[in-house]
Chains A and B, each alone.
Chain A
Amino acid sequence: MAACVVTTLRRFPLAIHHHGNLRNVQLVQNAPHKNASTLLLQRTRSSVQISRPVKTGVCTCTCSQLQKNHGSLKSKEPFLISSNLAYTTSSIFTGMQDQVFKSRSDTIFGSQSLYNGFVVAPLMHAPNSTRSICSSVPLTNIHRNRTPGGASSNQLTGPHLLRGTPSRSLFGLPDRSAWASAIAEAEKIVGYPTSFIGLRCLLSDELSNVAMQVRKLVGTKHPLVKTAKNLVYDGKHNIQTRGLIILLISKAAGPSPKGTDNQSMVRGIYPSQRTLAEIAEMIHTAFLVHKGVVNIRDLLPSDGPRSVMEFGNKISVLSGDFLLASACMGLAKLRNTYVVDLISQAISDLTEAAFMAFSEEGAEPGATGRGQLPLPNLGVADWTRYVYLSSGSLIAKSCRAALELAGHGEEMQKCAFEFGKNIALAQQLHQELQLFTAFNGSPTSFSLTSAPVLLHLEGSGNRDRVSNQTKLDMKKLHREIRAGSAIAKSQDLCRTYAESARLAISEFPQSEARDALLKMVKAVS
């Protein structure tokens, strides 16, 4: 089934560069309205330029619609377009082996992957841009190909994604949840979407080199391919929000109380704070990449040839190291050793989390269970510790560091830390709860180490009863948890975290940045 969903990213122009041997199409979107977007189709082939608006409905249109309106898009193939800043575009299209895709995009890492037949390749065009950052994680679409094992389900959230039809390709609609709209508004406040990796970094020779190498991995089972795909679209809206929260709290805290030193604020945020947000994103990404390193010895024959996996490891290690090294350089240039200390601690915490029982194969929150109960003594306290180490610490310490960079006092810094920590916990718990409370949540896609499960097991006698089963019945467990008190307990816990986060910034002066943060808190409570 051919389908195309064009989602537009709010205020940002969308550019689709489609270099084909049959046509050369450029879609340029200008000034989208809040709901409906207009696409302009420019045919640049043989120097004819036609600019016609395309009615797109609510931020989406299908390939057939495009075709109806414009005979020029002859492709029956589905293609998916995501957007970014004017100079960054991701496009996914499939099945066009003969397409000549000549652009700088070939050389961008993290963005080139072939996932179930889809090439993901953002174009980087920043010839005269002075902006030092770019975003390449737009909100667009997710492609999900149902494999017999259902292995990809862990990347999907939101009920609409679980309603998938078993067609070859399925694009979900953009997440219009409270969380998504909270983010959308928050992004406006900080000026432009949070960076994810510095443009300078993306355009460097080193990463171009990696991108060339990543191509060889396309179509293999190495986790790097999946990570790269998730960088382009992260199902949880998780990747970007890290930086966003840091920027918002920087803005909410306001200017330096000691008077500005040599920095001047841009839209209420110091350049050093923006760099810090960028660094936090880089560190997070580096860890995603490094966690994707596979143990060669544990490979099954079905995972593909050993040499490919070794090669994938090599590229994962190098690209993760590159991101970490760039982050280190960026940190050092902030010229604040306390900030370096904080962020180094956050990196240590991330590695510690990776060594916890939660990170064992298949036990990561969000991963599908393997029919085995987690370690018998794992409780909610461990869950809290794990979530803190694996995501809370980086956000919390970056928030603290952001305020340190502006010269705010210890009190404010502590509040920022508490806020970051609690919103991370609330967000994770909220996400895990979705799988149980959503109208038609899949009864088997939850993780056995998610908080609702652990709370359920802590209930009287539940653990014994469940662990006595020879084969774990996921569906039954799901039913039990829904019927029991664990859900209510989880919701209480989630509200407690959200409340702590709210309280932490209640002393901050009233501002739209603070309101945006509060809205985000509300969305996850």
Chain B
Amino acid sequence: MATFMWLQNVGLLRQIRLSLPRNLRLCLKKINSTSDKSISTTCCRCGLSSTVASSNCKGRLRTNNRYLYSRCFSTNSNVFPKETCSPEKLTQDELASLHGNICKELITERRSLQEVAQYYFDGKGKAFRPMLVLLTAGACNSHTHGANRQLLDTQRQIAMIAEMIHTASLMHDDVIDNADTRRNKTAINEKWGQKKSILAGDFVLSVSSKVLARIGNEEVVLILSQVIDDLVRGEFMQLGSKEDENERFSHYLKKTFMKTASLMAHSCQAVAVLGKCSDEVCQIAFEYGRNVGMAFQLIDDVLDFVSSDSEMGKPTSADLKLGLATGPVLFAAEKFPELDALIMRRFSEPGDVERAREAVAKTDGIEQTRYIANKYSQEAKRQISQLTPSPASQALTELSQRVITRLK
């Protein structure tokens, strides 16, 4: 609520309150009374202890509304007009050149390699990670060096590297998962064969680490190497499942951190380090990235249940078909212990996937997962509110909200 305090101090709050529509004014009143009760998450690297996550989630659902109010509050309380502070607006110029720049880095003598390596860099992806990284860089820069501070080239490169590492991991994941489609086009393994996909993935990774090395900052190299390590370890964690219920949930969250949040957290941290920000700010950037990443993936897992193939651009129920038990199923298993057997055999028998889907539909597994995602999103907002308000930080707040409301 630092923003809130700040607004009160400069006497802007009154103005804002007056300009708000009536229902939001009500919200604001409510938030005033409940703001200090906001739940701060505890934890290791994945943020949420499993006991917090799995116990009495349902009871907490009722209090959920509070967060919706706070959302109204936080997206409207900033001094910057909303239309100029949308994440897209702020990053469109940078993002427009991003894929071209990546493709430039991937140019090589071997045309056949270049073709495979550039296949996913067609500019049609969401480019969520680069956007996040660029905005974080902007927010950290204005916090530390004042509003006029421009992005550094090295920070732009981190955005590129984040997208490259992400895509390289997709190239490998598609082979591992035997994917057919990705981003509404033929998956790389279908198009070029498994062997080329893997080697091209390695190539993208090596080029990204070349770009990283040329930034010339040892600490940043260390930070982003951690991401690669986490990605692989996360993939390994997916191979096994835990029998114990509590352990299973923390296993799931840890895996989620490693496979998704780690990249966002560490690349946000890296741009803060490059922006010569204080350790405190670097930590805020890391925590913001981590929380957004966790929320992002949890919602991804929810969408795997609720949306259709064409919306997502990739097949849904994919996780179940791969034998992965994600949040909604784990919650459903609390109510239907017979799901445990299915989880353990990784939904390998005919009818397992359907049974799991039905069980999820009967319980509030989806809502509970959303609830946790919501909490991560709240925490992300809290983190970013510690920075000086700026268009970028406002966009980050919006981004953390959009992560949980997105439909694809």
Interface residues of A, Cβ cutoff 8 Å to B: 205-206, 209-210, 213, 286-287, 290-291, 293-298, 310, 313-314, 316-318, 320-322, 324-326, 328-329, 331-333, 335-338, 340-341, 344-345, 347-348, 350-352, 354-356
State A99–B109 Cα separation when bound (angstroms): 53
From the candidates B203, B217, B240, name the one contacting A337 in the complex (CB within 8 A): B217
Q: Determine how close the nearest CB of chain B comes to the CB of A33; give it in whole angstroms.
A: 44
Q: Is B25 an interface residue (CB 8 A)?
A: no
Determine if A337 and B112 form an interchain contact, defined as CB atoms under 8 angstroms apart: no
Task: Provide the bound-state CA to CA distance between A329 and B223, in Å.
Answer: 9
Q: C-beta contact mask, B188-207 vs A, less than 8 Å → 1, else 0?
A: 00000111101110110111
Q: Given A295-B194, A318-B232, A356-B110: A324 and B205 within 8 A (CB)?
A: yes
Given contacts A206-B232, A325-B228, A332-B222, contact A355 B212 (CB under 8 A): no
| Contact across chains for B236 and A351 when beta carbons are under 8 A apart | no
Nearest CB in chain A: distance from B208 CB, A: 8
In this assembly, does B408 line the interface, its C-beta being within 8 Å of a C-beta of chain A? no
Q: A337-B216, A348-B207 are in contact. Are A321 and B232 (CB under 8 A)?
A: yes
B residues 206-253 touching A (CB-CB < 8 Å): 206-207, 209-210, 212-218, 221-222, 224-226, 228-229, 231-233, 235-236, 239-240
Instruction: Summarize B's interface: helix, strand, loop or mixed.
Output: helix
Contact of A355 (CB < 8 Å), options: B110, B193, B214, B231: B110
Q: How far is the CA of A294 from the CA of B207 in the complex (A)?
A: 24
B199 pairs with A338, CB closer than 8 A: no
Name the one of B109, B176, B199 contacting A291, with C-beta atoms under 8 angstroms.
B199
Closest to B216 in A: A337
The chain A residue with its CB closest to the CB of B172 is A317
> Is the pair B233, A206 in contact by a Cβ cutoff of 8 Å?
yes
Instruction: Chain B residues near A294: list those with CB within 8 A.
Output: 194-195
Contact of A352 among B113, B213, B222 (CB under 8 A): B113
Given A293-B175, A325-B228, A328-B225, A352 and B109 touching (CB < 8 A)? yes
Minimum CB–CB distance from A486 to chain B (whole Å) comes to: 27
Tell me the bound Cα distance from A331 to B205 in angstroms: 14
Taking the complex as formed, is B178 at the interface, i.e. its CB lies under 8 A from any CB of chain A? Answer: yes
Asked if A351 and B203 sit within 8 Å, CB to CB, the answer is yes
Q: Could you list some 16 contacts between A and B, CB below 8 A?
A: A206-B232, A291-B195, A295-B195, A318-B236, A320-B202, A324-B232, A328-B229, A340-B212, A340-B213, A344-B207, A344-B212, A344-B213, A347-B205, A348-B210, A351-B113, A352-B203
Chain B residues in 8 Å Cβ range of A314: 175-176
Residue contact B228 to A328, C-beta cutoff 8 Å: yes
Interchain CA distance A317-B205 in the complex, whole Å: 14
Interface size on B, residues (CB 8 A): 44
For the complex, what is the distance from the CA of A249 to the CA of B47, rounded to whole Å?
47
* A488 vs B56: C-alpha distance when bound (angstroms): 81
> Which B residues are in CB contact (< 8 Å) with A206?
232-233, 236
Give the contacting residue for B199; candidates A298, A321, A354; CB below 8 A.
A354
Are A337 and B202 neighbours in the complex by a CB distance under 8 Å?
no
- CA of A501 to CA of B122, assembled, Å: 44
The reply to whether A348 and B195 contact each other, CB–CB distance below 8 Å, is no
User: Which residues in B have their C-beta under 8 angstroms from that of A348?
Assistant: 108, 203, 206-207, 210
A-side contacts of B206, CB under 8 Å: 344-345, 347-348, 351
* B225 and A345 contact, CB distance less than 8 A: no
Smallest CB gap from A325: residue in B: B232
**Residues of chain A with a CB closer than 8 A to B236's CB:** 205-206, 209-210, 318, 322
Q: Nearest A residue to B195 by beta-carbon distance? A: A293
Taking the nearest CB of chain B, how far is it from the CB of A385, in angstroms? Answer: 9
Residues of A within 8 Å of B113, CB to CB, are 351-352, 355
Q: How far is the CA of A351 from the CA of B232 in the complex (A)?
A: 19
Please name all residues of chain A whose beta carbon is closer than 8 Å to the beta carbon of B196 when the two chains form the complex.
295, 355
**B175:A325 contact, CB within 8 angstroms:** no
Give Cα A316–Cα B235 distance, bound, in whole angstroms: 13
* Chain B residues within an 8 Å CB radius of A320: 198, 202
Q: Is the CB of B213 within 8 A of A290?
A: no
Residues of B close to A322: CB separation below 8 A? 232, 236
The listed residue with most A CB atoms (<10 A of its CB), out of B113, B178, B229, B232, is: B232
When the two chains form their complex, are residues B202 and A338 in contact, meaning their CB atoms are under 8 A apart?
A: no
- Least distance between A210 CB and chain B CB atoms (Å): 8
B105 CB to closest chain A CB (Å) equals 10
Chain A residues contacting B203 (CB-CB under 8 Å) are 347-348, 351-352
Taking A286-B202, A325-B229, A337-B215 as given, write out 18 further A-B residue pairs in contact, using a Cβ cutoff of 8 Å, ordered by the A residue number.
Answer: A206-B236, A295-B194, A296-B193, A313-B175, A314-B175, A317-B175, A318-B176, A318-B239, A325-B228, A328-B228, A328-B229, A329-B229, A331-B221, A332-B221, A332-B225, A337-B221, A344-B212, A351-B206
Q: Which listed residue, B110, B195, B209, B240, touches A344 by the CB 8 Å rule? A: B209
How far, in whole Å, are A331 and B109 apart by their CA atoms in the complex? 26
How far, in angstroms, from A155 to B205 measured CA to CA in the complex?
A: 30
How far is it, in angstroms, between the C-alpha of A344 and the C-alpha of B212 when the chains are bound? 10
